Amino acid sequence: MAEEKKKRGLLFCVCLGICPSFKDTNEYEVLNAIRREKLVDWVGVHPQLCSTDGDEYLKALLSNSNVGELYVAGCDPVMQKKMFRDAFDAAGFDRDKHIGIEVRNMKTEEVIETIKKLSRKEIKRCRKVLPGSYLAKCHPLSAESLRLCEKK
Ligand code: SF4
């Protein structure tokens, strides 16, 4: 049987929904914009990923999963790495497949652009590393995402 293609997911951690750092962001608008362009395979919202139940959520989501890459929009990526480390390890999820995106103190449009830019940057990086064969090998960037990015 053919191996299932790994998927890319984007979670938006809304920091309890009351953090002033997110007061100018409409998280649903952000996620819809990313979905519309099919830059990831799925999106989700969580109120506090760094809490104990946030750990449980990550473990449940990532254990034996087909998630090839997990983007998390929220606080500082370095903080994210530290806070999610145990949950990733418990789930057997490669920590390097987590890409944190700092989106605090931004307006909705800025958040959308930040996430899109990150996708484009990844494409450029992959091209550099894998010239000529990046489309086939550079998981998880899909040909569709690449075409969308090249139009911009
Ligand atoms: S993971 Fe970051 S954004 Fe999410 S609740 Fe914790 S501190 Fe806030």
Q: What pLDDT digit, counting tens, does each position of 37-46 carry? A: 888 999 999 9
Report the pLDDT averaged over residues 38-60. 96
Give burial (CB, 10 Å; 0-12/13-18/19+) of 134: middle
The residues that bridge with 66 in the sheet, in sequence order, are: none
Nearest in space to 116 (alpha carbons), one of 84, 82, 151: 151
Which residues form the domain of 52? 7-119
| Domains of the chain: total | 1
Q: With 80 as the cut, is the pLDDT of residue 58 above it? A: yes
Give residue 73 CA to ligand 1 midpoint distance, Å: 9
Nearest residue CA, atom 8 of ligand 1?
Answer: 15
Q: Which atom of ligand 1 is nearest to the CA of 16?
A: 5
Q: Which residues of 18-37 are buried (b: 16+ CB within 10 A; e: fewer)?
A: eeeebeebebeebbebbeeb
The tens digit of pLDDT for each residue in 82-129 reads: 999 999 999 999 999 999 999 999 999 999 999 988 876 665 665 565
Q: Is the pLDDT of residue 15 over 90?
A: yes
Question: Backbone dihedral region of 39: left (phi > 0), alpha (psi from -120 to 50 degrees) or beta?
Answer: alpha
Give residue 136's pLDDT band: very low, low, confident or very high (50, 70, 90).
very low
The answer to whether the CB of 30 falls within 8 A of the CB of 14 is no
Alpha-carbon distance of 146 to 22, in angstroms, equals 29
**Pocket-forming residues, ligand 1, beta carbon under 6 Å:** 13, 15, 48-50, 74-75, 83
Q: If you measure from the C-alpha of residue 17 to the centroid of ligand 1, how many angstroms do you get, rounded to a whole number?
A: 10
Atom of ligand 1 nearest to the CA of 76: 2
What lies within 8 Å, CB to CB, of 58 at 6+ separation is 49, 84, 87, 88, 91, 93
Q: Is residue 48 part of a domain?
A: yes
Q: Is residue 145 part of a domain?
A: no
In this prediction, residue 21 carries a pLDDT of 95
Q: Domain for residue 53, yes or no?
A: yes
- Evaluate whether 36 touches 3 at the Cβ level (below 8 Å): no
CATH code, domain with 39: 3.40.50
Residue 86 lies in a domain: yes
pTM for the full predicted model: 0.81
Say yes or no to pLDDT of 52 above 90: yes
More confident residue, 123 or 147: 123
Q: Is residue 138 part of a domain?
A: no
- In the reported structure, the alpha carbon of residue 120 is separated from the centroid of ligand 1 by a whole-number distance in angstroms of 25
Answer yes or no: is 49 within a domain.
yes
pLDDT of 1 > 90? The answer is no
Q: Are 50 and 84 in contact (CB under 8 A)?
A: yes
What per-residue confidence (pLDDT) applies to 51? 97
- The answer to whether position 76 is within a domain reads yes
* Measured distance CA(64)–CA(128) in Å, rounded: 31
